Structure 1
Amino acid sequence: MKKTIILNPSLSHTIASLGHTDCLTISDAGLPIPMQCPRIDLALTKNIPTFLQTIDAVVSEMFVERAVIAEEIKQKNPQILTALLQRIKQLEKKQNNNIAVEFVNHKDFKLLTHSSKAVVRTGEFSPYANVILYSGVPF
């Protein structure tokens, strides 16, 4: 049995297959997922797993160089934004790199998901709890 954090085989495989600048979207329960984009559906019930729990698991196994977030989160979900930005700062220290954070409007965010290797759907029931993480290289 695998002993690292992520046990879901689809998610583990997707993270392992990311190359430099490939991206992975982590979404709340309501984000529309493009038909051509693989869906890794972790949602079990309302808020299980949460967006932040999923972020924590993913970044434990993914080297991140960039994150894109919908601008609307600033007004509609500032608590999740604060927690997400705090996690990004902690990840920068752990990885010893700077992670660029970009805000785009939600319409553009949804278009950017089309280039994701996969969209990871969580059980999160709060608005705009979505992020696109871009893979970096640890060397």
Structure 2
Amino acid sequence: MLRIGILGAAGIAPAAIIRPARRRTDVVIAAVASRRASAAAAYALEHGIERSYGDYRALLADPDIDLVYVALPPSEHAEWSIAALEAGKDVLCEKPFAMNATEAGRMRRVAAETGQRLIEAFHDRYHPLSLETRRHSRLRPAGRARIAAR
């Protein structure tokens, strides 16, 4: 069973990870953390998450968490992804992955050093709308050529 902890009581998490996890039998959203304990507790209650933390580091210290979903503001992605990697957690980081190439390079180096997985949560490729768009683009190759020529 893959146990996921969410950093940030974010509006994107239900569609991006909470509902998809519920469709699986091998994944559970086990915890959420926010800067405010009350916000984390309310979010956990609303989404049926077992544990909540009012501190990001407390979630990272939880030995029952295997993977951390970083759903914080983009300016916090590098710092908390690196902290999660160093805590021995795999990381699924919401996009944008980092604020610049230097941060992204640091994140990749820490992932390599720790042996943990670091993945950008770029869901759009698998979204039903993207599949439909690709289907239509195959039906109208001339349209693609016109767009490419612009």
Fold equivalence (TM over 0.5)? no
TM-score normalised over the length of structure 2: 0.33
TM-score normalised over the length of structure 1: 0.35
Kindly name which structure, 1 or 2, has the bigger radius of gyration based on alpha carbons: 2
Larger helix percent = 2
Greater length-normalized contact order (CA 8 Å, ≥ 6 residues apart): 1
